[in-house]
A and B are shown apart, each in its own frame.
Chain A
C-alpha cells in the first residue's frame, strides 16, 4: 500500500479545518466579544499537521493509484476530519472525547444528532462551527478541495465516485470538474438565498446564517435546543421546506433547471417519485394527526408537511415533538428515514433512485415466478440496468439491512434498557444521516447525551458509514484490504 497519495488530501483537509476554526473564532471574538485564546490549540494543531504532511510529501512521482489507496484516502480523510473537528468541543466545552467526536462527526456527515444541552448558552463561535461543519460535510469537502487543489486526475475522479452518491459510471474528468464547479456554485447560491430569506423573516443574522448553512446541507443543526419550534413562525418553516427540498434534489438536475433543461427534471423518475412520496406521506400524516393530535386541519397539515420534508430530506429539523405522534405516523417517518433523498444531493439514506430501481427489480422478479421465460430489460430514465448493476443494488440493500440488524444488536448490548423503537430509530437516523430519533428518549426534545460513550462511538461510526455509502468504510475493516500480496 502506497501512503504518499494520502498525504496531500489530508494536508488540504487539515488546512481547511484550521481555516474554518480561525473564521469561527474570529467572528465569535469580533461580533460577540468571545475569548479567542481557547481556540488557539484548535487552530494550530490542524495547521501544524497540515504543514508536517505537506513537507513530508517530498517530490511525488506520478504513481498508479489503486482502488485501495482511494478507499483508504476517503475513509481516513473523513475519520481524521471527525477527530480534528471535535477539537473545539473538547477544548471549549471540556466535554468527553465521545461527546466531542459524536458532535463533530454528526456535523461533518450532515446528520444533525446532538449530544449537547442548552445550545443557547454555548459560545457563538462554536455554534457557528457546528453549522459550518455541516455545510462542509454537505459539500463533500474531501473531493471538492482535492479536486481543485490536488494534482492526480484519476485520483480525483475515483474520489468523486467514492464520495458522491451519483449512479453515473462513465463520467469524464472534465465533466466531473464542471459538475463539481456548478454544484459548488449552486450550493453557495442556495445558502446565500436561504440566509437572506430567513433574515427577511425576522431571524437574527447569526441564526439566519447558521440555519441556512444547515438547511441547504440537509444537516439539521439548530442554534436552539427547541429547534425550529423556537421561532414558531410559519414563514420560516415555509422557507426551510423550500430549501430543504432544494438541498435534497440531485444538484446536476438543479443545474439543468437553471440552464435550459427544466422539463427533464419533471421527467426524471427519481424526482417524480421523491415528490410523490413527500406528498403522499404528508397527506397520510395529516390524516393521522387530525383531529387526534391537532384539532385544526391546517395546523395538522403544517406540522405534517414540515416534519415529512425534514425527515424525507434527512435534515432532521423539528417544529414539534414528533416523538409524541401516533405510532403509525412515527413508523411512516422511520420508513422515510431509511429511504432518504435523491442521489447526487446532500441528503443521506438509501436514496429514492435506488428505491425506484429496487422496486422495479423486485417487480420483474415477481413476474419471473409465474413466467419463467420472459426476458425483461430494466431501464430507468433511459439508462440500462444490466444484471451486474441490479445485483450490486441488491447487495447494497442487503448490506444496509445487515448493518442495521447488527448495529441494533450491538446497541442493545451496550444499552440493555433501550426499547426497540428507540434502538432502531437511533440506528436508522444515524445511518441515514437524519439526526434525532423517533422516541422521547432521543427525539427532537432530547439529545444523545444520556447514551454511554461506547454507544455514541457506535452511532458516530454509523454516521460515517451512511455518509460514505457503507463500502468505503467497511472495506477498511476487511483483512484482505491490508495484505500486500494475496
Chain B
C-alpha cells in the first residue's frame, strides 16, 4: 500500500519506520530542508521537501494512487489544512493528527465533517487511553473511546435494599437512552432479557449518557463508596487526557507538577483534582502526600528519566501499582528489562500507542472483539462490527432485524454521530455498532450484519 506522511517529527518517523518494516511504500513531506536532506540520505522512503499546505507541494504526489495521507506535524492547523487539500486532490483516506485542545473541541464542533477529514487522532490521548485501560475496566474504556466519550459505561452493584432488587428489567422502566449491557452474578456474566429478575449483589454494566446514568443511580438508590486513589506525576497533555478518561467521581486523582503556572492551570480546569506543586522524584514529598494510599502511581511527564526515578520513589513510598510512560523511541529496547528488573506493573510506550491507534484506522477490520467476559460458550463478548454497504439489513430499523438470541446493541455510530440505538433507529452501510453477544451466537450476529445480499 502507498502512504504519505506529512511531517517528519517523532510521531511521523515512528510511523514511517513501522510502515516501511511492513513493506509499504511511504512518502514523507517535510518542510525543513536540512531534515529532509538528512532523511533522504538515511531512509528508504521518498522525501518531498515543501509545505504540505500548498497545492504545489501536494501536486508532486500522486494522491489518487495514495491509500492514505497522514498529517502528523505538531501544528493542528497545518494538519487540518493539508488533509482537506489532500482530500480535494483525491486522496482515498485522510488521517489528521490533532492535539489536546482541539481534541476537546471535537466534542462540541464536528471538525471531521466540516473539513472532510476521515479520521482524527490525538497521540497523547491514545497513550492516555492505554493507561486508562489498565486502571479502569478495559471494556468500558474501549466503548467510551469508540463513542468518543459521548457514551459512558458504569457499573452498579445492587444492594439488598435497592428498589430494583427482585424486579424484572421490564419493570424498571429505564430511559430509552440507557442499556443494561450485561450482568455479573457471582462469577458469571450474562446478557439480561426483559424478564431477567435482578438480585441483590448483581453487578450491572450500563451504557448511556452521563446525565441519565446519574439519574438512574439515584433511582436505584445506589451509592458507591469504593474509591480508587490515583497519583499522576506531571501535568502533561497525557495527564489532561487521562483526567478526562478518569472523570468518574469514584476516582480520586492527585497530580504532582513542578511548574506552578501549570499547577494553577490544572487546578482551575479540574477543581476536584488535588494539584500538588513539587517534584515526584522527591521521596519526602511523596511520603507527605501519603502515596502509600495510592492504588496507582502513573509517571507520565515528558521526561522519561524523571518518570523512571519518580516510579522508583513511588515504589519506595509504598504505592500499590506503578505505571510508567516511556516517550522516547530509543528506550524501546530496554523497556522490558526496566519493567522486569524494577517490578513496574505496566509500561506504556508512545510508539506502540500511536501504531496501535493508526493500524486500526489504516487497516480496519470488519469485526473486532473488544472484550470477552468469561471462558464458557455462554459468556458474553463485546464486539465491534462495521456494517458494509449492500447487506440484507441495510435500511431496516433495529426492531425489524431478526437478531440472534442473547444479543444486545450497545452503541451505534452513524458517520460522526454516536448514540445508544433505539428500536426505530435505522442501520445503513458504513455504520458501526458495538454489541454484547454470547460467544456461541457471535458468528450469527457477524453474518447478519456483514453478509451482503446475493444478486
Which A residues are within 8 Å of any B CB, using their own CB? 371, 373-377, 379, 384
Query: What separation, in Å, do the CA atoms of A384 and B288 have in the docked complex?
Result: 28
> B264 contacts which chain A residues (CB < 8 A)?
375, 377
Find B268's partner among A371, A373, A374, A377 (CB 8 Å cutoff). A377
Q: A371-B276, A374-B277 are in contact. List 16 more A-B contacts (CB 8 A).
A: A371-B288, A373-B276, A373-B277, A373-B278, A374-B274, A374-B275, A375-B260, A375-B264, A375-B267, A375-B276, A375-B277, A376-B267, A377-B267, A377-B268, A377-B271, A379-B268
Taking a contact as CB atoms under 8 Å apart, the answer to whether B268 and A384 are in contact is yes
| Nearest neighbor of B285 in chain A, beta-carbon distance | A373
| A329 and B268 alpha carbons, distance in the complex (Å) | 41
* Cross-chain contact of A379 among B271, B276, B277 (Cβ < 8 A): B271
Please give, as numbers and ranges, the residues of chain B lying within 8 Å of A377 by CB-CB distance. 264, 267-268, 271
Closest chain B residue, CB of each to CB of A384: B268
Q: List 21 A-B contacts (CB under 8 A).
A: A371-B288, A371-B289, A373-B277, A373-B278, A373-B285, A373-B288, A373-B289, A374-B274, A374-B276, A375-B260, A375-B263, A375-B266, A375-B276, A376-B267, A376-B275, A377-B264, A377-B267, A377-B271, A379-B268, A379-B271, A384-B268
Residues in B whose Cβ lies below 8 Å from that of A384: 268
Question: In the assembled complex, which residues on chain A have CB atoms less than 8 Å from the CB atom of B267?
Answer: 375-377
In the assembled complex, the Cα of A379 lies from the Cα of B270 at a distance in Å of: 11
Residues of chain A lying within 8 A (CB to CB) of residue B288? 371, 373
Nearest Cβ on chain A to B241's Cβ, whole angstroms: 20
A63 to B276, CA, bound (A): 50
User: What residues of A have a CB within 8 angstroms of the CB of B274 in the complex?
Assistant: 374
Report A374 CB to chain B, min CB distance, Å.
6
Closest CB of chain B to A302's CB: distance in Å?
37
Are B271 and A375 interface neighbours, CB within 8 A? no
Interface residues of B (CB under 8 A from A): 260, 263-264, 266-268, 271, 274-278, 285, 288-289
Closest to B263 in A: A375
Contact residues in B for A379 (Cβ distance below 8 Å): 268, 271
CB-based closest 5 A-B pairs: A375-B263, A377-B267, A375-B275, A373-B278, A377-B268
Bound form: Cα–Cα A374–B275 in Å:
6
Complex Cα distance, B291 from A373, in Å, reads 14
Which of chain A's residues have a CB closer than 8 A to the CB of B278?
373
Q: How far is the CA of A376 from the CA of B271 in the complex (A)?
A: 8
- For A374, list chain B residues within 8 Å (CB): 274-277
Docked complex Cα distance between A373 and B260 (Å): 10
Which residue of A has the minimal Cβ distance to B260? Answer: A375
CB neighbours (8 Å) of B266 from chain A are 375
Closest chain-A Cβ to B290's Cβ sits at a distance in Å of: 10
A271 CB, nearest partner CB in chain B, Å: 21
Q: Considering only CB atoms, which chain A residue lies closest to B262 in the complex? A: A375
- What distance in Å separates the Cβ of B452 from its nearest Cβ neighbour in chain A? 52
Closest A residue, CB atoms, query B268:
A377
Chain B residues positioned under 8 Å from A375 (CB to CB)? 260, 263-264, 266-267, 275-277
Nearest CB on B from A357, distance (A): 15
What is the CA–CA distance of A373 and B277 in the complex, to the nearest angstrom?
5
CB distance from B291 to the nearest CB of A (A): 13
Q: Report Cα–Cα, A318/B274, bound state, in Å.
A: 48
Return A44 CB to nearest CB of chain B, in Å.
Answer: 59
A99 to B267 alpha-carbon distance, docked (Å): 55
- The minimal Cβ–Cβ distance linking A253 to chain B, given in whole angstroms, is 23
**Cα(A397)–Cα(B176), bound, Å:** 53
Complex-state Cα separation, A384 to B275, whole angstroms:
16
A343 to B198 CA separation, bound complex (whole angstroms): 51
Question: Which residues from chain B contact A371 at a C-beta distance below 8 Å?
Answer: 276, 288-289
How far does the alpha carbon of A371 sit from the alpha carbon of B289 in the complex, in Å? Answer: 8
**CA gap between A379 and B272 in the complex, in Å:** 11
> Which partner residue on chain B sits nearest A370 by CB separation?
B288
* Contact partners of B289 in chain A: CB under 8 A: 371, 373
Whole-angstrom distance between the Cβ of B282 and the nearest chain A Cβ: 10
- A376: which B residues are within 8 A, CB to CB? 267, 275
CB distance from B369 to the nearest CB of A (A): 43
Residue of A nearest to B276 (CB): A373
A306 to chain B, nearest CB (A): 38
**A377 CA to B264 CA in the complex, in Å?**
7
Query: How far apart are the CA atoms of A384 and B269 in the complex, in Å?
Result: 11
Q: How many Å lie between the Cα of A384 and that of B267 in the bound state? A: 11
- Cα A481 to Cα B451 in complex, Å, equals 86
CB distance from A30 to the nearest CB of B (A): 61
Report the bound CA distance from A440 to B2 in whole Å.
95
B285 to chain A, nearest CB (A): 7
A379 to B271, CA, bound (A): 8
Chain A's nearest CB lies how many Å from the CB of B292?
16
How far is the CB of A40 from the nearest CB of chain B, in Å? 63
Chain A, residue nearest B257 (CB): A375
Give the docked Cα–Cα distance between A374 and B288 (Å).
Answer: 11
**What is the minimal beta-carbon distance from A176 to any residue of chain B, in angstroms?**
27
Which residues of the other chain, A, contact B260 by a CB distance below 8 angstroms?
375
Minimal beta-carbon separation of A104 from chain B (angstroms): 48
Shortest CB distance A263–B (Å): 15
CA distance A384 to B277 in the complex (A): 19
* Distance of A384 Cα from B271 Cα, bound (Å): 11
Q: Which residues of B contact A373 (CB under 8 A)?
A: 276-278, 285, 288-289
* Alpha-carbon gap, A300 to B276, bound state (A): 51
With both chains docked as a complex, state the minimum distance between the C-beta of A137 and any C-beta of chain B, in angstroms. 39
- Which residues from A are CB-within-8-Å of B285? 373
Give A379 to B264 CA distance when docked, in angstroms: 12
Q: Which residue of A lies closest to B254 (CB)?
A: A374
